[in-house]
Amino acid sequence: MKKILIFFADGFEEIEGLTVVDLCRRAKLDISTVSITDSNTVVSSHKIELKTDYTINQVNFDEADMIVLPGGIPGTPNLEACSLLIENVVKFNEQGKMLAAICAAPSILGHLGILKGKEAICYPGFEEELEGATIKNVKSVTSGNVITACGMGGAIDFGLDIVAHYQGQQATDDLAVKIRQVID
């Protein structure tokens, strides 16, 4: 089974991170929440505490297939300041493994040169940080080994694009119908 790691730093945006976790778990994908510190407790940008499954020193990056980066301020700069995470983001890209980032977090991929020649989207105002990318006006876009999304308004589309990568469009469409029945 494919393994997805979603990384949380203090100041993360709740909807952007937890919607992905929810949708992946509904789709029966193996997704683990990971704190970038030695503590399993992370505090969101709106002061909500989250207890993660693991800390960064407890995960084996070699066993994972995707890294997901939720946005938020100061969550995004905190993620970018985590050298172990950034080393592995670069390694994943070099290996062609999947990377996903939403809101301000695609800026991390831009700073690393990972978006050069790819289509991407981010939170409005961060476009200049997406170095070398073609900016798309959509909620979520997949380009090569990278999935990016605009922000909390695109969190469901972002999560569904992650599900689609692993389970195909039909399974994703079926899941989308189920969740939209609940919210419509």
Class of domain 3-178: alpha beta
- pTM here is 0.95
Among 82, 98, 93, residue whose Cα is nearest residue 42: 82
| pLDDT tens for each residue of 27-71 | 999 999 999 999 999 999 999 999 999 999 999 999 999 999 999
Among 7, 115, 114, residue whose Cα is nearest residue 61: 7
| pLDDT tens for each residue of 92-134 | 999 999 999 999 999 999 999 999 999 999 999 999 999 999 9
* CA–CA separation, 137 and 141 (whole Å): 9
Is the torsion defined by CA of 17, 124, 112, 147 positive or negative? positive
Candidate from 33-37, 70-74, 142-146, 173-177 with smallest mean pLDDT: 173-177
The pLDDT of residue 2: 81
Mean pLDDT of the chain: 95
Helical (H) or strand (E) element with 157:
helix 155-183
